[in-house]
Amino acid sequence: MERTIKYFSKKIFPVAIALSILVLTGELIAHLIGEILWFQEVGYAKTFLERLLWQLGLFGLTSALSLGFLLFNLRLASRWGWRIAKETPDR
C-alpha cells in the first residue's frame, strides 16, 4: 500500500497536474481566439481588446496589491509572532 501511494505521489500526480494545466490553458486560448474572431466579424474587435486589456490590468493591479498585503502581514507575523507566543503563560 505504501509503495502505491509513493508511486502515485511521485509519478502520477505531477503528470495529472501538468495535463490539467495543459488542457485548461488550451481551452482558454481556444476560447480567446474564438472571441477575438467573432468580435472582428461583427466589427467590435477594438472594443473587445480594450475591455480585455482593462480586465487584465485590473487583475494585475488587484493581484499586486493582494500580494503586497500578504507579504507585509507575513513579515509582521514573523517579526512579532514569537514575542507574543513567549509572553503567553503556559497552562
Model pLDDT for residues 46-64, shown as the tens digit of each residue: 999 999 999 999 999 999 9
Cα dihedral: 10, 13, 16, 22 (round 10):
-70
Instruction: State the Cα–Cα distance between residues 63 and 56, nearest whole angstrom.
Output: 10
Q: In this structure, what DSSP letter does residue 1 have? A: -
Q: Tell the residue number behind the cell numbers 480567446, with chain if given.
A: 32
DSSP state of 20: H
Percent of the chain with pLDDT over 90: 65
